[in-house]
Amino acid sequence: MNVCWPKIRFTINNEACEVHVPPMKRLLDVLREDLHLNGTKEGCGEGECGSCSVRMNGELVNSCLVPVLQAEGAEIQTVEGLATNGILHPLQECFLACGGAQCGICTPGMLMAAAQLLERNPNPSMAEIREGLAGNLCRCTGFMRIFESVLAAATQAENSVAEKANHAR
Ligand code: FES
Ligand code: FES
C-alpha cells in the first residue's frame, strides 16, 4: 500500500526544506536518512547522551526525542551549519587545536551545546562550561579537553572583540 505522508516544512541550516515522511519519525532519522545530514549522531537514542543535539528555534534539543512533526515551521541548525562558506566555526577550530575532537560520536553534539552556550554567555567560566555541556556525555571521559576547547573559543572571541575596540580608538 502506498502511503502519502503529509508535507512537513522547516528551515535547515538557513535553507528551506520539505519532507514527506511519517510525522512521528524522529527528527534525528529525518536528518540522517532523508536529508543525508550525517553529522548528527545517535548515541543512546533515549535523550540521555546529547550526541544527537541540534538547535531548533534557538534551543538545544535532543533530535532523538523530537518527532519531525514538531519541526514544522522551525529553524533548525545542525553541526553542518556551524561552518560558514567552508570556514570552520571558531569552536570547531578550537576543538581541533585543543584536542576536544576526540571521537565522531559525541563531538557534533558537544559542538552544538557549546555553540548554544556561547551564544547565551559569550564569556563563560569553566564551571559554566561544565554546566552548559552537562547534557552531553563523553563515554571515554575526555571531558577536560572538550571544556578547554570551549574556553579557548570564548577567550579567542573576547580577544578579537577587545582588539577591534582598540583599533577603533
Ligand atoms: S542519541 Fe539522543 S540523547 Fe542520546
Ligand atoms: S570523545 Fe566522544 S565519547 Fe569521548
pLDDT digits (tens, 9 = 90+) for 45-72: 999 999 999 999 999 999 999 999 999 9
User: What is the whole-number distance in angstroms between the Cα of residue 72 and the centre of ligand 2?
Assistant: 32
Q: pTM for the complete prediction? A: 0.93
Quick: pLDDT tens for 102-157.
Answer: 888 999 999 999 999 999 999 999 999 999 999 999 988 789 999 999 999 999 88
For 135, residues 6+ apart whose C-beta sits below 8 A from its C-beta are 50, 53, 60, 62, 113
Q: Whose CA is nearest to atom 3 of ligand 2?
A: 138
Ligand 1 atom with the smallest distance to the CA of 50 is: 3
**Would you say the CB of residue 76 lies under 6 angstroms from ligand 2?**
no
Ligand 1: residues whose CB is within 6 Å?
Answer: 42-45, 47-52, 62, 64
Average pLDDT of span 74-82: 98
Where residue 163 falls among pLDDT bands split at 50, 70, 90?
A: confident
The bound ligand whose nearest atom lies closest to the alpha carbon of 101 is 2
User: What is the whole-number distance in angstroms between the Cα of residue 51 and the centre of ligand 1?
Assistant: 5
**Angle 90-97/143-168 helices, nearest 10 degrees?**
130
Q: Whose CA is nearest to atom 3 of ligand 1?
A: 47
Query: CA 5 to CA 151: how far, in whole Å?
Result: 45
